[in-house]
């Protein structure tokens, strides 16, 4: 497993940040966005489904699409990649998982310290005011406080990311020793910029992706492959006590 220098750097790391994208949930059977044949954006136009304008034009269409996405997410199970990241959190001194995914699979896998940059498909928001969710009529998609439509609590193109989540992610990236970019095409900002902040502050950047991305040439380590296959092996190689014992030369 991997170069010895990476294994040692991860054993020494005090702070690790992992950014994930749709690719980590691909092995759970969920579609990514940009895969040529199977990606969501190969079948649907983002401007029809993932903008506030689209929601204003046709809230029912958007709700139906997200109801389908919610159902897919609930039917899916966390895979070995999600589980390995939950395990990494237990082993590393400090660990933050930053995800662009809205499917909730990381928390179902047992990750605790999670920042959701693009929201969560299992929650709703009042589309007009900042009303409390206590008074939502989720069944009819209506806010009882102000009468407005409810909308999925996800971040669409042109919308700001939740400020606290973004600030937490940026602060952690700027302080970490190792930054993972896993299963993301690294083209949607501001998430796609986090690795740069980490690198500028001296962190090693490790990419795990089935394909090349704009980050690949800049990463300290780049592993072309499936997250669900690579991550469990990496966690074992770095933190498995028996292996650490063996590789330190002790008998």
First-to-last CA distance in the chain? 21
CB of 113 to ligand BJW, least distance (A): 19
Round the CA-based radius of gyration of the chain to a whole number and report it.
19
CB of 63 to ligand BJW, least distance (A): 12
Which position among 118, 122, 140, 201 bears the catalytic label?
A: 118
Q: Which chain residues interact with ligand BJW by CB under 6 A?
A: 21-23, 26-27, 32-34, 39, 50, 100, 102, 118, 154-160, 183-185, 187-190, 208-211, 213, 226-228
Phi-psi label, residue 135: left if phi above 0, alpha if psi -120 to 50, beta otherwise: alpha
Residue nearest ligand BJW (C-beta atom): 23
Q: Is position 118 annotated as part of the catalytic site?
A: yes
What phi, psi does 190 have (nearest 5°)? -85, 0
- 15 vs 79 by CB, closer to ligand BJW: 79
Instruction: List 205's β-bridge partners, or say none.
Output: 179
CB of 49 to ligand BJW, least distance (A): 7
Report d(CA 237, CA 91) in Å as an integer.
12
- 188 vs 244 by CB, closer to ligand BJW: 188
- 34 vs 106 by CB, closer to ligand BJW: 34
Report d(CA 220, CA 241) in Å as an integer.
25
132 contact partners, CB below 8 Å, separation of at least 6: 145
Q: How far is CA 176 from CA 94, 180, 215, in A?
A: 9, 10, 18
CB of 52 to ligand BJW, least distance (A): 10
- 160 vs 250 by CB, closer to ligand BJW: 160
Report d(CA 18, CA 101) in Å as an integer.
13
Catalytic annotation, residues: 118
């Amino acid at each position: 497993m991997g170069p010895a220098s990476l294994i040692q750097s991860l054993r020494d790391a005090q702070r690790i940040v992992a950014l994930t994208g749709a690719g980590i949930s691909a092995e759970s059977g969920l579609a990514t966005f940009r895969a040529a044949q199977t990606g969501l954006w190969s079948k649907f136009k983002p401007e029809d489904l993932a903008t506030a304008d689209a929601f204003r034009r046709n809230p029912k269409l958007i709700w139906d699409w997200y109801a389908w996405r919610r159902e897919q997410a609930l039917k899916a199970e966390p895979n070995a990649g999600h589980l390995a990241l939950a395990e990494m959190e237990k082993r590393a001194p400090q660990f933050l998982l930053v995800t662009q995914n809205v499917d909730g699979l990381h928390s179902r896998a047992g990750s605790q310290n999670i920042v959701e940059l693009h929201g969560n498909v299992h929650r709703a928001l009042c589309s007009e005011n900042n009303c409390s969710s206590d008074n939502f009529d989720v069944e009819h998609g209506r806010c009882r406080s102000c009468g407005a439509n409810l909308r999925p609590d996800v971040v669409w193109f042109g919308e700001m990311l939740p400020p606290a989540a973004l600030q937490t992610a940026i602060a952690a990236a700027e302080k970490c020793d190792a930054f993972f970019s896993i299963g993301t095409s690294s083209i949607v900002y501001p998430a796609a910029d986090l690795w740069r902040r980490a690198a500028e502050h001296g962190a090693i950047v490790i990419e795990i992706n089935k394909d090349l991305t704009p980050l690949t040439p800049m990463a300290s380590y780049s592993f072309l492959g499936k997250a669900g296959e690579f991550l469990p092996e990496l966690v074992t190689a770095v933190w498995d006590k028996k292996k650490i014992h063996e590789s330190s030369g002790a008998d």
